[in-house]
Chains A and B, each alone.
Chain A
C-alpha cells in the first residue's frame, strides 16, 4: 500500500524539502484562515546600483545595508509624517526622473484616461456582458476568418489605443452611441466587430431590444410615433431608411458611417449617433478631401 517514496527521495530530509516545495505550489489556497506564524520582520534595504544596474553578486551577505534615513539623502518630497526613513534614494533619483516620464505620459493621459490600456480595471468580459457584446476581443487562431482582419487592423489599433503596441493584443474600443429619441445612450466595442454590417446589426439589436425598457421617457417616445419604426429593422446602412448612422470624428465633424474603409473609420471615430434622416441632410461625406486610399476590403 505504501508504494515507493515520491520523487525518488528516500531520505526524509530530501523528501521533505521537495514536498515542502510541492506543498507550496500545490496546496496554497486563496482565502483561508490565516496561520498565526511568528516571523521576525525587518525592513531590509537592498542597495541597487542606480540607473545602470551594476550589482555583481546578490549573495545574502552583500545584500543588506543599514536603513537609509532622511539624513542620508535629500528627500524629493516634503513628507512630514515619517521620521524614520527617507522617501527616496538619490542613487535612484536620476533613474526616477528619467523613467517616470513614461509613467507621466500614461498619467498625462489621465485627464482623458479612457486611452489607458486596461484601466480602470474592470474585466473586459464584464464590460462585454454589460454592453451586450456577443464576443470578447478576437481570440487568436480561433476563427480563421478573423485572422486576416487582425493583420489589417493591428496598425490601426496601435494608433487608436496608445501605449501597448503588441500586435497580438486586441483591445476593446468602446464608443458611445446615442439614438435620437432615446435619452439613455449605450456603448459599443468597435473592436469586437469586423465590418460595418456587423456593427449595424449589433446596434439594431441594442436599440431595438432595449428601447422599450429604457425609461418612462423612452416609453413615451415610443408611444409618440416611433414604435412602428422600431419594430422594423433600422436599416442603418441603407440610405433610404428612416435612420442614419453617423459618427463624430477626431476633428469634431459629423460624418455618415460607411464611406471610408473600416480601419480608417476605427482610427478616427469618437462616438456614434443614430440620427433621423430628416436631420441628417447637413452631413457631407468628405470623400474628396481625403487621400485617395484604396479600400482594403469591401464594405
Chain B
C-alpha cells in the first residue's frame, strides 16, 4: 500500500508538466503564486519544476538584490519580466566607516538604463549603499511615468538638485525617503518643485538634509497631501512651524521633528502640546535635535501609543529620559545616545516591559578620555525589565563576562546581538580575562541568533563557540579579535547559515581564507581588511572558485604581497568591469 502510494506520487512528479497542463491552468498557478511574498518561498517554488519556475517568474513583482554585483540587470530583466519594485544594495557595509574608496562603484545608472527599457512601469526603487548622481535621479524621474516610491539609505553622490528633479517630474510619487545619505545639500528649494496639483505623497523624509527649506511650500504640500502618514523634517524646521504642520496633519503615523528647541511662549507651548497629542495614530517619533527637559513634556500626551522612539540625535540626560519613558508604556523599539547613562537605562527597564529593540549610540565615540557613557550595569538593568528584548546594538566602554551571561539568561530570544566595547581588545574589566565566555554564553543561550558583532579581547575560543553553537547565524562582524587562523576556520566550518562575514584587524591569514573555499558560494560576501591575507592566497581563491569575485584594495605604502582589503562575493555576472584602479579584480 505504502509503496504504491509512493510510486504514484513519484509518477506524478515526473509527469508534472503534463499533469499541470491538463488540470491546472497556468493562470491559476500564477495567481496562487502571486500571493507568495517571501523570497525564500519563491526560490523554493521556482525549483519544483519548469512550469512552476515560469509561473513564479511571471508572477514576481518585487526583486531583492542583496549585492548589486552578484547579478547583472540584463539577467534580472530576462528572468523576471514583470517587476514593479526593486531593492538593491551596493557597497560593503564597512564603507559606512570610511574603509572603502569613494569611487568603489555600485553605481545605479547602468541598472536604470536597463530598467527603463525592460520595466517602463517600474514603481518602486529602494537603494542602500549605492552611488547615485543627479543625472541618474533625473533619468529616473523622466523614464518611469508610474514611479511611486524612492527610498535612499546610506547612498552617496547626489545633491538636492537630484531631489528637485524627482519632485518636478514624478506625478504619482507616494514616497520620498532620504535617509542618512552623503548628500550635497545645496539648498532647500527642491521642495518647492512639487507642483501645486500634486497630492499623492504619503511618505516624506528629509531629516538628513541641513539647509532651510521653503516652509511655506512645505506647509502647503503637507496640507494638500491628505494621505500623508510619514513626515520626517530636518533641523531647519522650528517648533512653531512643527505645530503649524501638525494642525493640518493629525493623521500622521510617523513623525520626525525638526529642532526641538526654541523660545516659546506659554501659549505656543500649549498649542504645540495640543497639536502633538492630536496625532492619535502616531506610533513612531524621531528627530528631536537638541531636545532638552524644557520642551520634552510637550510630547508626553503624544507618546501613549508610541512603539518606536528614536532619540539618537537628542543628547538626553538620565532624568529627562526617565520622565519621558514614564509616558511610553507601549514602546517596542528605542534608540538613545549614551548620555542617558546607566541610570537612564534603568528607567528603560522599569518603564518599557514590551521593549524588543534597544540601540545605544555613543555621543562621543572618538574621545578616549571620556569616562561617562553606559556600562554593563545599564544593559543588565534593561535585560531584567525587558524579557522580550531581541535586538540590541550597544556601544560601551566596559563590559564583563558575568554581565553578558546574566543578560542572555534574562533575554534568551536575541536574534541580533551587536556589542561594541569601544576600546579595541579590552578584556573583562573586573577579571581581566578575555571576553570569550560572554559571547560563548550568547551563542549557547540564544539559539535564534541571526546577527552577531563581537568586540573586546577575544581569543580563538570565542570563534570555537560561535562555530559550535551559532546554528542560525547569518551575519558576523569581527574586529581586533582572535589569535590564529583557527578562529576563522571554526566559524567557516561551523555556521551553516552564514551569509555575511566581515572582519578587520584580525590575525587570520591564507589558511583561514582558503578554508572557506566552498562556503563562500553559499554566502553573500566576505570582507577581510588589515588581516594577514596575501595576494597569493587571494589569487588561489580566485582561481579555484570561478563563481566568486575576489577583489583586493591595496593601500599605498604597503607590502606588494599583502592583500590589505579583500572583498569576496559570489556572482553570476562575472567579474565587474567598472572597478576603479585601486580595486584589483583577481
Q: Do A and B come from one complex?
A: yes
- Interface residues of chain A, those whose CB is within 8 Å of chain B, are 1-3, 5-7, 12, 15-16, 18-35, 37, 39, 41-49, 53, 55, 58, 60, 63, 76-77, 79, 81-82, 85-89, 92-93, 95-96, 99-100, 102-103, 106-107, 110-114, 116-127, 129-130, 132, 134-143, 158, 163-172, 174, 176, 187, 209-210, 212-213, 215
Extra A-B contacts (15), CB below 8 Å, given A79-B461, A125-B154, A165-B558 = A2-B26, A20-B47, A24-B43, A25-B66, A28-B40, A41-B494, A43-B490, A53-B536, A88-B484, A99-B532, A106-B530, A119-B97, A125-B181, A126-B180, A170-B98
Which residues of A lie under 8 Å from residue B477 when comparing CB positions?
121
A157–B426 CA distance with the chains assembled, in angstroms? 28
Tell me if A30 and B496 are in contact (CB < 8 A). Answer: no
Stretch with Cβ within 8 A of A (4 or more), from B141-149, B216-224, B321-329, B503-511: B503-511
List of 9 A-B pairs having minimum Cβ-Cβ separation, nearest first: A48-B511, A118-B97, A213-B261, A136-B182, A25-B70, A88-B484, A23-B43, A46-B515, A123-B96
Cβ < 8 Å to A, chain B residues 149-167? 154, 156-157, 159
| B397 (CB) vs chain A CBs: closest residue | A120
Stretch with Cβ within 8 A of A (4 or more), from B169-177, B240-248, B416-424: B416-424
Interface string of B19-56 (1 = CB under 8 A from A): 00000001000000000001110110011011001100
Which residues of B lie under 8 Å from residue A58 when comparing CB positions?
514, 517, 540, 544
Tell me if B509 and A48 are in contact (CB < 8 A). Answer: yes
Best-surrounded residue of B66, B154, B522 (most CB of chain A within 10 A): B66
Minimum distance in angstroms from A282 CB to a CB of chain B: 25
Tell me if A168 and B423 are in contact (CB < 8 A). Answer: no
A92–B262 CA distance with the chains assembled, in angstroms? 62
Query: Could you list some 22 contacts between A and B, CB below 8 A?
Result: A7-B79, A15-B50, A16-B53, A19-B47, A22-B572, A23-B43, A24-B570, A26-B65, A33-B40, A34-B497, A37-B497, A43-B468, A45-B486, A81-B461, A85-B486, A107-B505, A119-B97, A120-B362, A126-B361, A136-B182, A140-B102, A169-B102
Tell me if A19 and B486 are in contact (CB < 8 A). Answer: no
Q: Known: A28-B524, A43-B490. Contact between A89 and B97, CB under 8 A?
A: no
Tell me if A121 and B313 are in contact (CB < 8 A). Answer: no
Tell me if B540 and A53 are in contact (CB < 8 A). Answer: yes
Interface string of B208-219 (1 = CB under 8 A from A): 101100000000
A165–B185 CA distance with the chains assembled, in angstroms? 28
- Of the residues A32, A48, A77, A123, contact of B97 by C-beta under 8 Å: A123
| A32 (CB) vs chain B CBs: closest residue | B40
Cβ < 8 Å to A, chain B residues 406-453? 415, 420, 422-426, 436-437, 448, 450
A152–B572 CA distance with the chains assembled, in angstroms? 41
Minimum distance in angstroms from A46 CB to a CB of chain B: 4
Q: Known: A46-B514, A132-B210. Contact between A6 and B78, CB under 8 A?
A: yes
A116–B425 CA distance with the chains assembled, in angstroms? 13
Does any Cβ of A come within 8 Å of B383's Cβ?
A: no
Tell me if B54 and A121 are in contact (CB < 8 A). Answer: no
| A88 (CB) vs chain B CBs: closest residue | B484
Minimum distance in angstroms from B114 CB to a CB of chain A: 14
Tell me if A123 and B154 are in contact (CB < 8 A). Answer: yes
Q: Known: A107-B480, A118-B99, A120-B422. Contact between A29 and B40, CB under 8 A?
A: yes
A173–B319 CA distance with the chains assembled, in angstroms? 32
Which residues of A lie under 8 Å from residue B313 when comparing CB positions?
129-130
Tell me if B184 and A139 are in contact (CB < 8 A). Answer: yes
Does any Cβ of A come within 8 Å of B499's Cβ?
A: yes
Tell me if A106 and B97 are in contact (CB < 8 A). Answer: no
A3–B185 CA distance with the chains assembled, in angstroms? 47
Which residues of A lie under 8 Å from residue B261 when comparing CB positions?
212-213
Number of A-B contacts (CB under 8 A): 321
A125–B381 CA distance with the chains assembled, in angstroms? 30
A23–B65 CA distance with the chains assembled, in angstroms? 10
Q: Known: A96-B483, A134-B210. Contact between A142 and B157, CB under 8 A?
A: yes
Which residues of A lie under 8 Å from residue B460 when comparing CB positions?
87-88
Minimum distance in angstroms from B16 CB to a CB of chain A: 9
Which residues of A lie under 8 Å from residue B557 when comparing CB positions?
165
Which residues of A lie under 8 Å from residue B510 when comparing CB positions?
48, 53
Does any Cβ of A come within 8 Å of B268's Cβ?
A: no
Cβ < 8 Å to A, chain B residues 437-496? 437, 448, 450, 459-461, 464, 467-468, 471-472, 477, 479-480, 483-486, 489-490, 493-494, 496
A121–B558 CA distance with the chains assembled, in angstroms? 23
Tell me if B79 and A107 are in contact (CB < 8 A). Answer: no
Minimum distance in angstroms from A85 CB to a CB of chain B: 6
| A218 (CB) vs chain B CBs: closest residue | B292
Tell me if A139 and B156 are in contact (CB < 8 A). Answer: yes
A124–B103 CA distance with the chains assembled, in angstroms? 16
Tell me if B46 and A47 are in contact (CB < 8 A). Answer: no
| A114 (CB) vs chain B CBs: closest residue | B366
A116–B464 CA distance with the chains assembled, in angstroms? 28
Best-surrounded residue of B365, B448, B547 (most CB of chain A within 10 A): B365
Which residues of A lie under 8 Å from residue B484 when comparing CB positions?
76, 87-89, 92-93, 96
Tell me if A113 and B423 are in contact (CB < 8 A). Answer: yes
Tell me if B180 and A82 are in contact (CB < 8 A). Answer: no
Minimum distance in angstroms from B156 CB to a CB of chain A: 6
Which residues of A lie under 8 Å from residue B362 when comparing CB positions?
120, 122
Tell me if A25 and B67 are in contact (CB < 8 A). Answer: yes
Which residues of B lie under 8 Å from residue A139 when comparing CB positions?
102, 156-157, 182, 184
| A25 (CB) vs chain B CBs: closest residue | B70
A170–B103 CA distance with the chains assembled, in angstroms? 11
| B506 (CB) vs chain A CBs: closest residue | A103
